[in-house]
Structure 1
Amino acid sequence: MSLTHSPETHSKLIARIPTVTGRDLPEWFRAIENGPAFLRCEERSHWLADEHGISHGYASALVREHERTRRARHY
């Protein structure tokens, strides 16, 4: 199973996260940053889904978006 979605699907998932989860992106990003220090994005998304009871699709979109914004901050 791929952890990446098409850009369109990714955008739709990210847009729905606050409604579906009741938490906005900065809250999720803090949860990811304060969670276990996994080396692989796949491990991080599985932890996020299991720990917070969200679908793996939303969890992988969150991890991907977190990585994207984290990289953008460093440039």
Structure 2
Amino acid sequence: MSQVFSEETHRNMLARIPHCTGREVSDWLRTVEEGPALFRFEEKVSWLRHEYDLAYGHAKAIVHEYDLRRAARKLL
């Protein structure tokens, strides 16, 4: 898996995403869920960047949050 931000940096990045992109994080997570069946972290980041013209850091934070939430669902 790709290197990830520190927890604090990740939370700060997520907090800025709605202001910078005009969409809530939950909308972006749904976009990743409904997007193409990409398996690798960097493939998802690249897809978001090119499809939605996102900055690398924002795309990376969205995919990281998606993976965290997906892993938490598997633990239940």
Offset of 1:6 from its aligned partner?
1.4
Aligned residue in 1 for 2:41 = 41
User: Per-residue displacement from partner, 1:33-70 (whole Å, max 9, x unpaired)?
Assistant: 11111110110011001110110110010000011112
Unaligned runs of 5+ in 1: none
For 1:27, the equivalent position in structure 2 comes to 27
In structure 1, how many angstroms separate the alpha carbons of the residues matched to 2:46 and 2:4? 13
Is the Cα–Cα contact under 8 Å of residues 3 and 42 in structure 1 kept in the other structure?
no
Partner of 1:69: 69
Structure 2 counterpart SS, 1:15? helix
Conservation of the 8 A alpha-carbon contact between 1:3 and 1:60: no
Identity %: 43
- Compute the TM-score of the two structures, normalised by the length of structure 1: 0.89
**Count of residue pairs the alignment pairs up:** 74
Unpaired segments ≥5 residues, structure 2: none
Give the whole-Å Cα distance in 1 for the aligned partners of 2:3 and 2:57. Answer: 8
Which SS does the other structure have where 1:28 is aligned? helix
Taking structure 2 as the reference length, the TM-score comes to 0.88
Secondary structure at the aligned position of 2:69 is classed as helix
Q: Which portions of structure 1, spanning 4 or more consecutive aligned residues, are displaced by more than 6 angstroms?
A: none
